[in-house]
């Protein structure tokens, strides 16, 4: 099984946010909106919003009605 490490995590603290306890996907985290986090709807909102915008961009424009 593979594991990953955040380059901003040092001894369980986030060096980007005043040494706050590292919580992957928290607001402001570089991982937020890029990955799916199991068991955390709050952390997945940004990813879902991003996917919805992409789906909206893929839809063809509505056909103009002829009068």
- The number of distinct structural domains making up the chain is 1
Q: Tell me the three state secondary structure of residue 9.
A: strand
> pTM above the 0.85 mark?
no
- 27, part of any domain: yes
For residue 30, being part of any structural domain is answered with yes
How far is the C-alpha of 12 from the C-alpha of 9, rounded, in Å?
6
3-class DSSP assignment, residue 52: helix
- Reported as half-sphere exposure (CB side, CA atoms, 13 A), residue 33 has a value of 10
Per-residue pLDDT of the chain (67 residues; tens, 9 = 90+): 456 778 888 888 888 888 788 888 777 888 877 777 777 777 778 788 888 888 887 666 555 555 4
In this structure, is residue 25 part of a structural domain?
A: yes
16: which 2 tokens? 């980007």
Task: Provide the residue range defining the domain that includes 46.
Answer: 9-55
State the Cα–Cα distance between residues 27 and 33, nearest whole angstrom. Answer: 10
């Amino acid at each position: 099984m593979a594991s990953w490490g955040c380059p901003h995590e040092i001894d369980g603290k986030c060096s980007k946010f005043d040494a706050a306890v590292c919580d992957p996907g928290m607001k402001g985290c570089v991982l937020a909106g890029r990955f799916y986090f199991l068991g955390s709807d709050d952390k997945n909102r940004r990813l879902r919003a991003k996917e919805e915008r992409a789906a909206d961009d893929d839809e063809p424009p509505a056909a103009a009605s002829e009068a």
